[in-house]
Amino acid sequence: MNGPYILTLRTATGTPITGKVKADFALTYYVDGADTATTAITITEVGSTGDYLLYVPDAATNTDHTLIIEDGGSLGVAAGWQERATWPNRPDTADFISAGGTLTYSGAVTPTGDVEIVRGDDYSNTDGRALNWTDASWPTLTGGTIAFSVRDNEGIVLIDSIAGVIVDASTIYVELTAAQTTVDPGKHRFDVQATLVSGRVVTLQLGKCRIFQEVTRM
């Protein structure tokens, strides 16, 4: 799944619109122009903030995806409110038509499974910013352990074997602290390895890790 993306709901006076669930949104999802079921799309509020985490399906190769989000009748947003995104290009603010809400990419894992993080930032699951991966083709992970590591192109370890969390048999996430992400900016390499209950080691994800230089704390 791609995301999380942040869908922020506010009234005309700026008051958070809280307590909504996926059923309160009218979703229309097209793949290559064909109206497609929205079952795989999830929308979950972060606490009672009016900020909702949105996950969308991974883009299949050579397919165009469009998601339209509208008021299902009980959101309390302005009349005509609508959000629209297209991918496989990663959705960002410019992809959306907004009338009372915003939707911005905030995830550290890109649609390709690679990682993009900002040096010195925290990536906490509580904030909806943990590094998330899911793949039904993985071996059963339940009861195993997860380790996330980053090395530069010369093989020097930058982030060393950070323990991840197994959500279910095919979903994991990794949290990083500001201290752990305070490493040299640049284009590096990462992997996510699992040690199964059997003791066997399998690599779940392997790819690029781009660490951006922060600006405010330079």
CA distance 12 to 78: 7
User: What are the domain boundaries of the chain?
Assistant: 2-105, 115-212
Fold of 115-212: Immunoglobulin-like (2.60.40)
CA distance 31 to 18: 30
CA distance 36 to 27: 10
Q: What per-residue string of b and e applies to 58-88 under the rule 16 or more CB within 10 Å gives b?
A: bbeeeeebbbebbbeeebebeeebbbbbebb
Residue from 104, 130, 107, 102 nearest 192 by CA: 130
**How many other C-beta atoms are found inside a 10 Å radius of the C-beta of residue 15?**
11
pTM to 2 decimal places? 0.54
CA distance 1 to 116: 16
CA distance 1 to 31: 15
What is the three-class DSSP state of 151? strand
Per-residue pLDDT of the chain (218 residues; tens, 9 = 90+): 676 778 888 877 778 899 999 999 999 998 877 889 999 999 999 888 888 888 888 766 667 778 888 888 888 877 777 787 776 655 544 444 343 444 444 468 876 788 888 899 999 888 878 898 888 788 889 899 999 999 998 889 999 999 999 988 878 999 999 999 999 888 899 999 999 999 999 999 888 898 888 777 65
